Amino acid sequence: MPNDAVRPADRSRALWLSTIAFTVCFAVWTIFAIIGIQIKKDLGLTDTQFGLLVGTPILTGSLIRLILGIWSDQYGGRAVYALTMLSAAVMTALLTYAYDYTTFLIAALGVGIAGGSFSVGVAYVAKWFPKARQGTALGIFGAGNVGAAVTKFTAPVIMVAYGWKTVALVWAAALAVMAVVFYLFTKDDPDLAERRAKGVKPEPLSAMLAPLASVQVWRFSLYYFFVFGAFVALSLWLPRYLIGVYGLDITTAGMIGAAYSIPASVFRAYGGHLSDKYGARTIMYWTFLVSVVCTFILSYPPTHYVIQGIRGPMEFSTHMGLIGFMLVASVLGFFMSLGKAAVYKHIPVYYPDRVGAVGGVVGLVGGLGGFVLPIAFGALNDLTGVWQSCFWLLFLIVSVATVWMHFAILAMEREALAKGVPAKSLPQLPEMQPIHEPKHAEAMAGTGAIQDWRPEDKGFWAATGSAIARRNLWISVPCLLLSFAVWMVWSVVVAKLPAVGFKFTNDELFWLAAMPGLSGATLRIFYSFMPAMFGGRLWTTLATWSLLIPALGMGFAVQSPDTPYWIFLALALLCGFGGGNFASSMANISFFFPKAEKGNALAINAGLGNLGVSVVQFVVPLAITAGVFGWLGGNPQSATAGGVTTTLWLQNAGFVFVPFIVASAFAAWFGMDDIASMKASFADQSVIFQRTHNWIMCWLYTGTFGSFIGFSAAFPLLAKILFPEVNALQYAFLGPLVGAVARALAGKACDRIGGGRITLWVFIAMSAGVLGVLAAIGMKGQANAFLVFFASFLFLFAASGVGNASTFQMIPAIMRKEVARLEPGMTEPERVKQSDKEAAAIIGFTSAIAAYGAFFIPKSFGTSIAATGSPALALYGFLAFYVSCIAVTWWFYTRRGGLLFDIERGRAASAAPTALKPV
């Protein structure tokens, strides 16, 4: 078995070459998914005959897995793997000599040898890794299922150009080359090398087959019948389905079919990681429940309804379009990939010396699903005449599997409860109970949240904590950046709506720009408590996924000038999902870092996250000028401005962020962590509402961040109204960029000098910036008016960015002193834990209140212009607010006797009570 003597380079090479080889094998194994369509046409086959043809290689590959897995355990996976690939390559080349249905079926049996490579690879890869990492390793190897997508992408192009026989010859040659490369560049697995060194003979076939007498192996394999068998069946069937249902050509059908195959394959590695971390049972529940929902949606055929209403018949129809099908199929494929990894995690844990044999049986049963189901799909098509009947069958299978698993688990837990057996000692799946031992429970249990987290311990921080914290920080940053981008996307889009035919007034446009601020600020109030309640990793993932709703909704809504205004208002409110994410992101990251680095970490997370505002104002004007999504992105619109007509794809303002949202959501789920000590209920956190300094910091942070986000939302439209002769949109991104960079760079200075002192100077600077904007408005009509206007706003953005960092640096320092004063009975570790929890909640809550600036500032400008014809009245109001912030900061924090005076000047922290008492 793997040990410390195994070189990491050999282990890594074995894993990645095995995965690439399996990808090539799987591409060959599913070759009939593409070439079978042409063969069906040439021979005039029925759907049932077609199902048998595409399923025949799956039958051979399934049946042969058992003996190949045993040979791998006996003679080593390296040699068996290479010989398997060479044999399959020869049989695939011979496929070109078939001439009728019978000879094609015989040839297909030979092609199926490629499918047997799975059990060989599982046995070979598992022996290179310790149990704790086998779930992830086998998940990575299993991602070779993406070979089905490789065939769908490339085979149609070759077949259309050169014919199906060329596809077979090219695939055969690629497989032969892969066999040679694999054998030359890998080594024998550690078990085989050890046996040879000791002169030990391989165990006899009878010993290898012993585990197969256990009913657990066969019952356990039935789960794989769905997660793998149905995957193979759909990979083979979908091109034919897409051609029949949507009238696509073979090339397009193959590529779209990959929308299912790719997530169903590449995320198998992710499933292995999740199984290692959260346990196989949890992953299987996710897989089955989501699959029930997806197969139910896909099983509904196009339907026309006529309802006899009060005023006569009412008719409506239901039909799933191609885009909807692709999305649901992708989700189904993704969760099936998780389930495949969860099943296979059990094998090396429970049968460490029989991985090949047991893996062969499980693969055999799963593979039989890939043989039986395509035939059943074809038969159902012929019998019912309904294309969606294949999903009827899958819905039935997964529903039965879900109910079976759930009630079997309940029965196991009831029995254990009656005997006084702890639930944690039970197996993940009840099928394994008769052979379950304590060592298996430890190997199969998920690691879950981090239990030991001591960032203030310098030894722990240097050895472990720093790397974990920084990984979470750098995954959090793109999630937050996208959140800000989606939140502020209306600031760019509203300026373009009139040009493409939308008849909205200036006041209505200001409302659209302001509504995301209103909803985002309100959501922040709730989001600030979510990381401690649900875990930062889970909430970050869900919050990132939620951005798809406004991004996709906007992309569809702007394509028609007939879209009613209320839909735009609703979408603007939904953009607030992005604004809400800031509170939870900052609260989450604050838990990971020690006090000495907290200010800088929060500045980096918030500062680079704030870049999303600049990104949206830079990227969207570029994205809407090109049809980057082809036919998927919809038709362009004609835009008229200044008598000049151009072509715009305004929908790209939403669509351009979709792939990045998906990638970031997966990164958050895959790479972030939960901290057990971070968990707290809402009641635990609600103590912050009794802290006076919570409300004071809300006031100050509204002055900094409320100004930053409000000016970001209002500046493009304000500049267009005041200076219509200037294309201000091309410069709009610079303000948020300056503010975001200033925030990111100011963190270390705030930790060194003190947040209170810097905040005081920030508000003085912002007051000067407002006076500069007022002066520019007074110069309107002069040559340099816009230059002064723009420079003053850049100065405001820079000052607010620094203030965003300095105010957040103040909060942890304030709460360390306050908790020590208010809770004298706590021990030092308890005070640190309590102050960190309160500081995190206050950071989230203050960000919620401050975010209302994104609503009030654009609305104030709109109201001021409507009432007086000028934004000056709103600016005078902002100036008065900044003056009040100067007074508050000085009085409570920076004057001699203020709460932060001693700390920020390096003196010993005073235990004297502050001038305020909690309310």
Give 28-78 pLDDT, tens digit per residue.
988 888 888 888 888 888 888 888 888 888 888 878 877 887 788 777 888
User: Do 40 and 110 fall within a single domain?
Assistant: yes
Between residues 313 and 92, which one has the greater pLDDT?
Answer: 92
Report whether 27 contacts 147 (CB < 8 A). yes
**Of 281, 218, 303, 278, whose CA–CA distance to 428 is shortest?**
281
User: Do 365 and 492 fall within a single domain?
Assistant: no
- Looking at 343, 374, 405, which one is the last position of a domain? 405
User: Do 377 and 468 fall within a single domain?
Assistant: no
- Does residue 841 form part of some domain? yes
Instruction: Compute CA distances 270 → 143, 342, 409, whole Å.
Output: 9, 10, 25
- Does residue 912 form part of some domain? no
pLDDT exceeds 90 at position 178: yes
d(Cα 738, Cα 265) in Å, to the nearest integer? 42
φ, ψ of residue 183 to 5 degrees: the values are: -65, -35
Q: How confident is the model over 894-908, as pLDDT tens digits? A: 888 888 888 877 643
d(Cα 594, Cα 587) in Å, to the nearest integer? 14
User: Do 381 and 509 fall within a single domain?
Assistant: no
- Does residue 809 form part of some domain? yes
**pLDDT reported for residue 796:** 92
pLDDT band at 207 (very low <50, low <70, confident <90, very high): low
| Mean pLDDT value across the chain | 78
- Does residue 707 form part of some domain? yes
- Does residue 837 form part of some domain? yes
| CATH code of residue 849 | 1.20.1250.20
d(Cα 858, Cα 870) in Å, to the nearest integer? 13
Q: How confident is the model over 832-888, as pLDDT tens digits? A: 777 777 777 787 778 778 877 877 888 888 888 888 888 889 899 999 999 999 999
The CA-to-CA distance between both ends of the chain, in Å, stands at 64
- Does residue 813 form part of some domain? yes
Report whether 389 contacts 211 (CB < 8 A). no
CA 694 to chain centre: 33
pLDDT band at 24 (very low <50, low <70, confident <90, very high): very high
**pLDDT reported for residue 635:** 63
User: Do 720 and 820 fall within a single domain?
Assistant: yes
Instruction: Compute CA distances 114 → 30, 95, 147, 358, 709, whole Å.
Output: 9, 13, 11, 19, 57
**pLDDT reported for residue 908:** 36
User: Do 534 and 393 fall within a single domain?
Assistant: no
Between residues 806 and 913, which one has the greater pLDDT?
Answer: 806
**Of 887, 583, 600, 590, whose CA–CA distance to 705 is shortest?**
583
φ, ψ of residue 695 to 5 degrees: the values are: -75, -35
Range with the poorest average pLDDT among 112-116, 497-501, 766-770? 497-501
**pLDDT reported for residue 432:** 54
Long-range contacts of 99-106 (CB under 8 A, 24+ apart): 100/43, 101/43, 101/45, 101/49, 101/53, 104/39, 104/43, 104/53, 105/52, 105/53, 105/56
User: Do 590 and 702 fall within a single domain?
Assistant: yes
- Does residue 913 form part of some domain? no
Burial of 624-640, coded b for 16+ CB within 10 Å and e otherwise, reads beebebeeebbebbebe
φ, ψ of residue 640 to 5 degrees: the values are: -120, 125
Tokens matching residue 106: 């015989």
Report whether 481 contacts 821 (CB < 8 A). no
- Looking at 384, 405, 426, which one is the last position of a domain? 405
Residue 107, domain extent: 8-202+219-405
**pLDDT reported for residue 677:** 65
**Whole-number percent of the chain with pLDDT over 70:** 81
pTM of the predicted structure, to 2 decimals: 0.55
User: Do 465 and 401 fall within a single domain?
Assistant: no
**pLDDT reported for residue 430:** 57
Report whether 805 contacts 606 (CB < 8 A). yes
Q: How confident is the model over 385-432, as pLDDT tens digits? A: 888 898 999 999 889 888 887 887 787 777 777 777 665 666 655 555
- Does residue 916 form part of some domain? no
The single-letter code of the amino acid at 760 is L
> How crowded is residue 550: how many other Cβ atoms within 10 Å of its Cβ?
27
pLDDT exceeds 60 at position 435: no
Domains contained in the chain, number = 2
User: Do 486 and 340 fall within a single domain?
Assistant: no
User: Do 353 and 476 fall within a single domain?
Assistant: no
User: Do 392 and 531 fall within a single domain?
Assistant: no
User: Do 512 and 652 fall within a single domain?
Assistant: yes
Between residues 471 and 828, which one has the greater pLDDT?
Answer: 471
- Looking at 405, 430, 446, which one is the last position of a domain? 405
Q: Where are the alpha helices (DSSP H) in 385-505?
A: 389-419, 438-444, 458-460, 466-488, 490-496
d(Cα 712, Cα 733) in Å, to the nearest integer? 8
